[in-house]
Amino acid sequence: MLGAKVMARAKINLFLEVGARRDDGYHDIRSVMQSLELSDELYFRRTDGSAGRIVIRCNDTCVPSNAENLVWKSIEEFDSRTGVIAGGGIDVLINKRIPVGAGLAGGSADAAAAFLALNRMFELDIPSDELADMGAAVGSDVPFCLLGGTALVSGRGERVERLEPMPRVQVVLASPGEEASTREVYDRFDALGPAAGSPAEMEVAFNTLVAGIRTHDFDSICSSLVNSLEPATTAPEQVERYKDIARQSGALVAMMTGSGPTVFALVSGMEEAAEVAWELEKAAPITIVTSFAGQGAELSEV
């Protein structure tokens, strides 16, 4: 097969507990991640007569088109494990819709899309756990972005366990449009020390959330969202402001996702989503209405 088109879905963290920095520089996390319908669209094409040549084109000029791009790294990782690309090249077109450096795992979603596309294009039928293993070598959120839906994620992100699928909850995202460096946020977290809650409180919140997901008890879900990284955000004023606006305009709950600075608000329906988005738009340079999705990266017809 010459080409493959993939939808690369963004994620939010409904729960994110961050442990101490490990010897390898990573942090152990315990997270409940949720895919969103908000997605980048990627098109991959095999090219002949240009051994090892990778070309990436992206509509967003903030996204690197060289070896810094996670898609590039994924192609190299895939080739180092399978050797199938060596004789030719790969062209990639990225239609970026997920805000960059916003805690929505846009780069990891694109990386997941690359593994899915290459597996299909070279007709290798590599099982999903092996693709996830390759993905983990490129970025901590890649294994989740491959599986998607609602999942419990632990280790540094390489352990992913699917949870009960969630209904199609509406979500409003608000972002200041300035990138947050994930590394900087983790450094700030280390300097601040544990703050989100005592270990016992975190345990109660986590168990309530997971039970709420299993029983479709949306009140329990909304009452138990936690993000350990929120106090370490690079945009504290915007995060607080967006959360206040969302709650005052009818959101059930609002919290920062991942390393931020995007705030997500869960709302009870389309009408409420419109109202919350209307108010957030007055303050936030980027406001997006989307919904929970039941899967991650997805191949689509070319």
Q: How far apart are CA 252 and CA 222, in angstroms?
A: 7
The reply on whether position 108 binds ligand ATP by CB under 6 A is yes
Q: How far apart are CA 73 and CA 91, in angstroms?
A: 14
Number of chain positions touching ligand ATP (CB under 6 A): 21
Min dist. Cβ of residue 18 to ligand ATP (A) = 12
Q: Output the six-digit token pair for 156.
A: 């540094």
Whether 141 sits among the annotated catalytic residues: the reply is yes
Using CB under 6 A as the binding rule, the residues of this chain from 181 to 220 that contact ligand ATP are 182
Radius of gyration over every alpha carbon of the chain, rounded to an integer in angstroms: 19
Q: Single out the segment in contact with ligand ATP by CB under 6 A; choices: 46-54, 96-104, 146-154, 189-197.
A: 96-104
Which C-beta is closer to ligand ATP: that of 249 or that of 292?
292
Which C-beta is closer to ligand ATP: that of 3 or that of 64?
64
Where helices occur in the chain by DSSP H, the ranges are 70-82, 106-121, 128-138, 142-147, 182-192, 199-215, 218-223, 236-248, 270-281
Using CB under 6 A as the binding rule, the residues of this chain from 154 to 183 that contact ligand ATP are 179, 182
Which C-beta is closer to ligand ATP: that of 149 or that of 258?
258
The reply on whether position 296 binds ligand ATP by CB under 6 A is no
CA angle 154, 159, 163 (to 5 degrees): 80
> Helices 106-121 and 128-138 meet at what angle, rounded to 10?
140
Residues 5, 96, 141, 243: which is the catalytic one?
141
The reply on whether position 142 binds ligand ATP by CB under 6 A is no
Which residues are catalytically annotated? 11, 141
